[in-house]
Structure 1
Amino acid sequence: MQMPRGLRRIRWNWRYAVKSYLGGSLWLVPILALVANQAFRVVVQWIDEWLLRAGMLDDTNSLLALSVTGARSLLETVLTLNLSFLVFTFGSLLVAIQVAGGQYTPRIIATTLLRDNVIRGTVGCFVFSLVFAVQVLSRTGESVHQLDIFLAALLGVISLMTFLFLIDYAARLLRPISIVARVGQFGTQVIRVIYPDPTVRPKPPVTRRLGEPDRTVLHADASGVVLALNVKGLVAAARHADGVVEFVPLVGDFLAVDEPLFRLYGNASAIDERWLRAAVVLGTERTLEQDPAFAFRILVDIAIKALSAAINDPTTAVMAIDQLHHLLRLVGQRDLRGEEVRDAAGELRLVLRTPNWEDFVHLSCTEIRHCGAGSIQIVRRLRSMLVNLMQTLPRHRHAELRGQLELLDRTIDEKFAFAEDRVLARVPDSQGLGGALGIQPLDEALHPED
């Protein structure tokens, strides 16, 4: 089938993968710093020559007025400082990755630590200062280029200040609240992109019965996790062919060789399967770009690891539930749009599955309820979340929340032997323990229609 001109680029997945890789690569900023340093060196050399010709600067008594020996000593100090800063930064980053992966979850390494622009920017600053000092040192012979020495000293001071800032920033970054808040921010962004429309009361399903597919495209490359899908491109291709394309796996699913990738209906069966495969990005680990459930997964992993016997930190789990509460409210306010994507004319062009409301609720509650069943902090915070969501979300979201409340009550009855503990555990508390004042009574929250 002849594709329209705008759809002939069959390597969308390559472009997406490269963009995603560069967005999470630590080495890219230092490379850019090297390039910027070369351009900066040319500009500085031109300004230096212009000042000398204009008589506004000489080699002996301007700016820092350093001798050759003093200039070399200063440059060697700047060079040593920046080299030490780089070694310390990378060594600390490796330690931080090990600690964060063991204390929280390994899934925050690629999604949070390696994508942090502050860390990458500070490394770029150190590389820039280091290379500039080396270049100036290599030019310092019988005479001293005073402008170069002044700028090298200035960059050394900036690097020192940047290093002190990095220590403070890294200490704050690795706190539990910083980790879970950052995951929550990423989750908020992807939910707003994937589900842009507000929710409406559900109507009877009108999904078109597609019948048997005219053609099935199997996955032929290496196995991997589905990271992203070119939704706009697939809709445009199906519209051009006047057919329907069904994407079989979920974003975030593991896809093995020879598993169904697409089912094609009608004239869409003529679409080039190479182009279809190129509309899907696979990788080794889930990412947040098009996978809203992955943000929930990371937060739940942090919570249940904090609740493990080895760590026993329910307060960190409460912080994770705070972010889950926010994300659940956001998801509950959005139209999860079912399985159908239509073109501008309203014709069905693409069928793909996305997590529904029940999926998000079970993901947020089930494992935490099981792992934190014996913690009064956790059951009170879970109840507070469920009650608040029932108070703030539309009524058609309440059924699953009510079911989770019933399961929570049964869990409390099983885990707490004393009646006094059971009464305490049934009080909704936004802080887990210590913040229950002013909470609406539970029976009113469960029966708002009364």
Structure 2
Amino acid sequence: MDWNRWYSLKSYLRSSLWTVPLIAVAIYAVVKPVAEMVGRWMVRQGALDPKTGLLGLSMSGARSLLGDIVSADLAFLVFTFASLLVAIQVAGGQYTPRIIATTLLRDNIIRSISGLFVFTLLFANRTQGWMGEEEVHQLQVLITALFGFASVVAFLFLIDYAAKSLRPVSLVARVGEQGVAVIESVYPAPTTGVTTPPEHDKERCAPDRVVRQRGKSGIVLAVNLEMLVTKARRADIVIEFVPQVGDLVAVDEPLFYLYGKSGVVDESRLRTLVAFGTERTIEQDPMFAFRILVDIALKALSAAINDPTTAVLAIDQLHRLLRMVGKRSLHIEEILDRSGRVRVILRTPNWEDFVHISFREVRQYGAGSIQIARRLRAAMENLIETLPGHRHEALRIELALLDRAIAVEHPFPEDLALARIADSQGLGGSATSTADN
């Protein structure tokens, strides 16, 4: 299987709720025959009395217990999937639709509990149908009872977990954790403070060959950089990946620029090193984590929802991610081989891009809220204090724009003075005014 197909398949399976229940069906198909064979062997060896057994249940008692477990697990499954559909609608409407595939459908706890319900339902149903008129399969009944008890506990835990995970603070925190992981993988090196442009920007020339997108349009999900470097080294050329991860690439748009003697390069093999999809994912796209958090903040600041406190929670995570990005080297456009020669050119967001997406739209929609203005100021001032000097200019520009925006939004001097105070809680925290009195 080509790399791009394998990556797309993995991404699809990770965001699909049905995969773990399907695995549970496969586990049931293996465990059930083994349990039946062990039960028969224990009866033949005299280690298990088929009448009193481990639970001491009669035929009617065993059938009643199994029937109750089947009914309970069926109800648990219906409730779980119905609740999940409601949660998806609420999250998409109140927060952002982009949170569904990246967070809700990738929740392994929900998927694992669903798998437990499916396994228990199948095991209990099979045990109930397999029992004869006189013999109670005590080992199978015991196993079913244990899984039934586990299902009840898991169901009660799921209700509590789902209620807590749908809170705004939980959702934005999970997006923040995903953002931290992708930033660490995409930008592993600390910043050096050097801002010289890459060599390919200084001496850019016309490419010797252009590889265009074929098949169908799609959003770039990921690129196999290691294989690109290998192909470029073998052909002794430089490969430039034209779009950026997260971009939509239409058919016949440039996908690669090849520099050097590129006649031996197979275009179709190059295309297999790029994974496309219908929706952005976070794995190689650090900007998407920022986009989700900003969308949550903008939705919270809309007139329909009017929840600036949720927007503050999103700004908390944006502040956290910006601090992390600001301490890392963002100039990885030129990827070298082992000999130190440039082999692959890949465009990535720069510091100004991250600053703009974090503050511009939130300021435009939230400058009229004193709470948002104070939290934005606290984030900007803290970043100026904690990040290296070459990161300050973009932050100072945003701070000046914030001052101009709140001067327009707050005509009363008292409100304006309050809005100019940096507060990490928006309103209610300990703050020191930076305004001139």
Report the TM-score, using the length of structure 1 for normalisation.
Answer: 0.94
> Equivalences for 1:25-44 in 2 at 5 Å?
25-44=16-35
Distance 2:262 2:416 in 1: 59
Q: SS of the counterpart of 1:405?
A: helix
* Preserved contact between residue 420 and residue 435 of structure 2 (Cα < 8 Å): no
* Preserved contact between residue 242 and residue 267 of structure 1 (Cα < 8 Å): yes
Q: SS of the counterpart of 1:270?
A: coil
Q: What is aligned with 2:321? A: 327
Distance 1:322 1:268 in 2: 48
Q: Structure 1 residue 159 and structure 2 residue 151: aligned?
A: yes
Moved more, 140-149 or 37-46: 37-46
Which one of the candidate residues 365, 378, 383 is aligned to 2:359? 365
Aligned-pair Cα RMSD in Å: 1.4
Q: What is aligned with 1:216? A: 210
- State the 1:50 CA deviation: 2.4
> Equivalences for 1:181-192 in 2 at 5 Å?
181-192=173-184
Which one of the candidate residues 167, 172, 179 is aligned to 1:175? 167
Q: Kindly provide the CA deviation profile for residues 154-175 of structure 1, in whole angstroms up to 9, marking residues without a partner as x.
A: 1111111110000000000100
Distance 1:162 1:326 in 2: 33
- State the 1:211 CA deviation: 1.0
Moved more, 202-211 or 356-365: 202-211
Q: Structure 1 residue 281 and structure 2 residue 278: aligned?
A: no
Q: Structure 1 residue 228 and structure 2 residue 233: aligned?
A: no
Q: SS of the counterpart of 1:225?
A: strand
* Preserved contact between residue 304 and residue 371 of structure 1 (Cα < 8 Å): yes
Q: What is aligned with 1:49? A: 40
Q: What is aligned with 1:115? A: 106
Q: What is aligned with 1:3? A: none
* Preserved contact between residue 210 and residue 265 of structure 1 (Cα < 8 Å): no
* Preserved contact between residue 198 and residue 334 of structure 2 (Cα < 8 Å): no
Opposite residue 303 of structure 2, the aligned amino acid is A
Mark the CA change 1:269 to 1:413 in structure 2 (over 3 Å): closer, same or farther. farther
Report sequence identity in percent.
Answer: 58
Opposite residue 194 of structure 1, the aligned amino acid is V
Q: Kindly provide the CA deviation profile for residues 46-84 of structure 1, in whole angstroms up to 9, marking residues without a partner as x.
A: 321222122121111122222212211111111000001
Q: What is aligned with 2:338? A: 344
Q: Structure 1 residue 102 and structure 2 residue 93: aligned?
A: yes
Distance 1:443 1:270 in 2: 65
Q: What is aligned with 1:435? A: 429
Distance 2:94 2:198 in 1: 47
Distance 2:27 2:308 in 1: 47
Distance 2:196 2:347 in 1: 18
- State the 1:376 CA deviation: 0.3
* Preserved contact between residue 421 and residue 435 of structure 2 (Cα < 8 Å): no
* Preserved contact between residue 342 and residue 350 of structure 1 (Cα < 8 Å): yes
Distance 1:268 1:48 in 2: 67
* Preserved contact between residue 192 and residue 329 of structure 2 (Cα < 8 Å): yes
Structure 1: any 5+ residue segments left out of the alignment? 1-8, 445-450
- State the 1:306 CA deviation: 0.1
- State the 1:412 CA deviation: 1.0
- State the 1:206 CA deviation: 4.9
- State the 1:346 CA deviation: 1.2
Structure 2: any 5+ residue segments left out of the alignment? none
Distance 2:262 2:430 in 1: 57
Q: What is aligned with 2:231? A: 237
Distance 1:232 1:221 in 2: 24
Q: What is aligned with 2:188? A: 196
Which one of the candidate residues 64, 67, 79 is aligned to 2:58? 67
* Preserved contact between residue 52 and residue 58 of structure 2 (Cα < 8 Å): no
Q: Kindly provide the CA deviation profile for residues 247-281 of structure 1, in whole angstroms up to 9, marking residues without a partner as x.
A: 11111111111111111010235310001111111
Report the TM-score, using the length of structure 2 for normalisation.
Answer: 0.97
> Equivalences for 1:293-308 in 2 at 5 Å?
293-308=287-302
Q: What is aligned with 1:354? A: 348
Q: SS of the counterpart of 2:239?
A: strand
Which 4+ runs in 1 deviate beyond 4 A? Answer: none
Distance 1:269 1:168 in 2: 61
Mark the CA change 1:339 to 1:168 in structure 2 (over 3 Å): closer, same or farther. same
Distance 1:391 1:221 in 2: 49
- State the 1:342 CA deviation: 1.2
Distance 1:365 1:430 in 2: 15
